[in-house]
């Protein structure tokens, strides 16, 4: 039987002995009338032996690839499959891993509560050791709750109306990333943070173990192009940094995305009890004044907005090759990176970005969140934000964290200030190596990067808007609510969004196509407008980069460089010539 999405989903912490649980599960859901909650019925299904409907995991039930294709509001869902535990797992810690489940997941084994997770975009593991017997078969039930209208669930661009509209699209609920099983020694490595020390030509490892025994040690081997170049062995200790200098160090950069292979071996009395494969890139990102630097050299960022939607999988890529292809399409268009917008991209995307030298800004799906709710909404957002950073901080391609998008105080300035600054401080505490953009566009409170959004379609108007003046300084989206601009790197991280759908233009019928401003009347007018907007930004000394909206069309939003199915909309040589331009 062909396994769906067969690749190991965690490429920087990979074990060889694992079981992919993707494929056909049984499934049950209850439709929810618009804006009406369905009563919690989990107690009726926790002991289920199976359901009547079938679904293909890891695709969300709204997607075609799931085999369900149900577009209604699905507030309560139940998944079931048989879970066979190998005899070889005896005396080991047995972990049930989920790439992501939207939004609240409760796991039952043979009707017994085994674990719970809140957060629709982050990976989690549940220790099911005490709930299973090796060599036996068990009934696994995953019960999922969500309520997009509640204002307490960060949901990104998922539509809170029945249909998609404007820049909101088909929902993704339930299991939407790989599920897998693995068994590890009770004293195995649980995680490791890898910090590149570019100036010191070293990697710093900060390990955490499930537990530590007497005489337990960690052996780290670093290889370059298949040849071991250095190794270090230390006593096992949680949170104690291990610095390993690299001989003849080779940096990672977009021009030369060099990666080192790493093996992490846990030993007790000299016997290996755990083995993990990883990799890392030696690079440095920092800010001096109003400029970004990568590896101590000035960096101008020519980013594209990538929302990570797929026609047949919605939030889930149909296969690993699709993740790689999106990066290749962006590079072919002349961009050197992307703002990963209103979605936490799966780790395999970052793997390909690391391999291909593609710069990324990591973001949360903050829309759907009531940023003036200081209770459950804030708790949900901030706890998941920490999990996002912990999961992805080892990737060299990821260079900026963005907490919120286009947020404003709405009702309570103090609460908005609190959640924004808390998100900034959490990012700095969990990963002090990267700049933090507290909010993409709109209201800033505490930020390393100053970002603004504007979708003016006339280059002359955009030029006037972005021209600094002595009285008002630089353009800001909401200066009445923000502290003064203090000279941070200034990025136009949303602009353009030029609407273009040639097929609809030919029919003189545009109401089903959404985009910014009035669409050009010809393709030649499109190129002229696009180049004019880009030239305005490149011509401003105080601007340190941009992000164009967007990589592909998404459903009714027709402002991509490519069609939704990833086919070309334009002459890509002309597009590349525009986005490859350097600042004047």
Q: DSSP assignment, residue 481?
A: G
So what's the pLDDT on residue 82? 97
Q: Which of 127, 153, 184 is the last residue of a domain?
A: 184
User: Does residue 291 sit in the same domain as residue 250?
Assistant: no
Range of 213's domain?
189-280
Q: How far is CA 88 from CA 185, 326, 467, in A?
A: 12, 40, 67
User: Does residue 306 sit in the same domain as residue 208?
Assistant: no
- DSSP readout, 430-460? H-TTS-EEEEESS--SS-SSEEEE-----HH
User: Does residue 435 sit in the same domain as residue 568?
Assistant: yes
Bridge partner list, 209? 189
Bridge partner list, 144? 77, 105
User: Does residue 175 sit in the same domain as residue 209?
Assistant: no
Q: Is residue 584 part of a domain?
A: no
Distance CA 522, CA 430 (A): 49
User: Does residue 326 sit in the same domain as residue 274?
Assistant: no
> 470: domain CATH number?
3.20.20.80
Distance CA 488, CA 504 (A): 42
Q: How far is CA 424 from CA 355, 429, 434, 458, 523, in A?
A: 28, 9, 11, 34, 42
> 93: domain CATH number?
2.60.120.260
Bridge partner list, 78? 28, 143
User: Does residue 514 sit in the same domain as residue 562?
Assistant: yes
So what's the pLDDT on residue 346? 96
Distance CA 498, CA 18 (A): 46
User: Does residue 436 sit in the same domain as residue 467?
Assistant: yes
> 252: domain CATH number?
2.60.40.10
Q: How many domains does the structure of the chain reveal?
A: 3
Q: What angle do CA 367, 368, 373 make, to 5 degrees?
A: 105
User: Does residue 322 sit in the same domain as residue 429?
Assistant: yes
Distance CA 9, CA 347 (A): 7
In contact, 107 and 79? CB cutoff 8 Å? no
**Residue appearing with tokens 């993707």:** 22
Q: Is residue 482 part of a domain?
A: yes
In contact, 313 and 346? CB cutoff 8 Å? no
**Residue 166: partners with Cβ closer than 8 Å, 6 or more residues away:** 514, 556, 557
Q: What pLDDT tens digit does each residue of the chain (584 aa) get? A: 678 999 999 999 999 999 999 999 999 998 765 444 444 444 557 778 899 999 999 999 999 999 999 999 999 999 999 999 999 999 999 999 999 999 999 999 999 999 999 999 999 999 999 999 999 999 999 999 999 999 999 999 999 999 999 999 999 999 999 999 999 999 999 999 999 999 999 999 999 999 999 999 999 999 999 999 999 999 999 999 999 999 999 999 999 999 999 999 999 999 999 999 999 999 999 999 999 999 999 999 999 999 999 999 999 999 999 999 999 999 999 999 999 999 999 999 999 999 999 999 999 999 999 999 999 999 999 999 999 999 999 999 999 999 999 998 678 999 999 999 999 999 999 999 999 999 999 999 999 999 999 999 999 999 999 999 877 799 999 999 999 999 999 999 999 999 998 776 555 444 467 888 899 999 999 999 999 999 999 999 999 999 999 999 999 999 999 999 999 999 999 999 999 999 97
User: Does residue 374 sit in the same domain as residue 276?
Assistant: no
């Amino acid at each position: 039987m062909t396994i769906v999405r067969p690749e190991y989903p965690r490429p920087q912490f990979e074990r060889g002995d694992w079981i992919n649980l993707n494929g056909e599960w049984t499934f049950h859901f209850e439709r929810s009338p618009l804006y009406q909650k369905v009563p919690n019925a989990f107690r009726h299904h926790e002991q289920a032996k199976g359901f009547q409907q079938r679904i293909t995991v890891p695709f969300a039930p709204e997607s075609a690839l799931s085999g369900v294709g149900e577009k209604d509001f699905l507030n309560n869902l139940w998944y079931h499959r048989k879970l066979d535990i190998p005899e070889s797992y005896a005396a080991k810690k047995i972990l049930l891993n989920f790439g992501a489940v939207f939004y609240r997941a409760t796991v039952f084994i043979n009707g017994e509560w085994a674990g719970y997770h809140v957060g629709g975009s982050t990976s989690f593991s549940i220790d099911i050791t005490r709930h299973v017997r090796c060599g036996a078969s068990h009934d696994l039930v995953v019960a999922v709750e969500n309520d997009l209208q509640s204002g307490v669930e960060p949901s990104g661009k998922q539509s809170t109306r029945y249909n998609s509209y404007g820049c909101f699209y088909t929902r993704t609920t339930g299991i939407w990333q790989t599920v897998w099983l693995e068994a590890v020694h009770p004293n195995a490595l649980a995680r490791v943070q890898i910090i590149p020390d570019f100036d010191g030509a070293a990697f710093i490892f900060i390990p955490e173990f499930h537990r530590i025994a007497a005489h337990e040690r960690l052996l780290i081997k670093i290889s370059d192009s298949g040849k071991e170049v250095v190794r270090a062995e230390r006593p096992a200790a949680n949170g104690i940094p291990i610095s390993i200098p690299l001989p003849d160090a080779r940096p990672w950069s977009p021009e030369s995305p060099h990666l080192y292979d790493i093996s992490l071996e846990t030993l007790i009395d000299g016997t290996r009890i755990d083995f993990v494969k990883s990799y890392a890139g030696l690079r440095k990102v920092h800010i001096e004044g109003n400029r970004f630097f990568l590896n101590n050299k000035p960096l101008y960022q020519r980013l594209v907005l990538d929302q990570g939607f797929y026609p047949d999988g919605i939030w889930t890529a149909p296969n690993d090759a699709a993740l790689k292809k999106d990066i290749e399409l962006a590079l072919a268009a002349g961009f050197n990176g992307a703002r990963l917008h209103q979605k936490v991209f799966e780790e395999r995307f970052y793997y390909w970005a690391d391999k291909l030298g593609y710069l990324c800004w990591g973001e949360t799906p903050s829309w759907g969140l009531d940023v003036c709710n200081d209770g459950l909404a804030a708790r949900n957002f901030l706890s998941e934000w920490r999990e996002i950073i912990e999961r992805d901080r080892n990737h060299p391609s990821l260079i900026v964290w963005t907490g919120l998008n286009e947020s404003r105080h709405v009702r309570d300035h103090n609460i908005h200030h609190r959640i924004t600054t808390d998100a900034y401080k959490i990012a700095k505490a969990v990963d002090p190596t990267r700049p933090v953009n507290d909010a993409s566009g709109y209201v800033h409170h505490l930020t390393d990067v100053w970002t603004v959004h504007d979708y003016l379609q006339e280059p002359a108007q955009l030029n006037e808007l972005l021209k600094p003046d002595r009285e008002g300084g630089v353009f800001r989206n909401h200066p009445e609510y923000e502290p003064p601009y203090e000279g941070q790197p200034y990025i136009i991280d949303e602009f353009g969004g030029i609407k273009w759908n040639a097929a609809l233009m030919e029919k003189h019928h545009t109401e089903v196509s959404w985009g910014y401003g009035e669409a050009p009347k010809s393709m030649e007018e499109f190129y002229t407008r696009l180049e004019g907007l880009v030239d305005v930004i490149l011509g401003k000394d105080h601007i340190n980069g941009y992000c164009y909206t967007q990589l592909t069309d998404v459903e009714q939003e027709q402002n991509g460089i490519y069609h939704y199915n990833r086919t070309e909309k334009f002459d890509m040589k002309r597009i590349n010539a525009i986005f490859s331009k350097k600042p004047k």
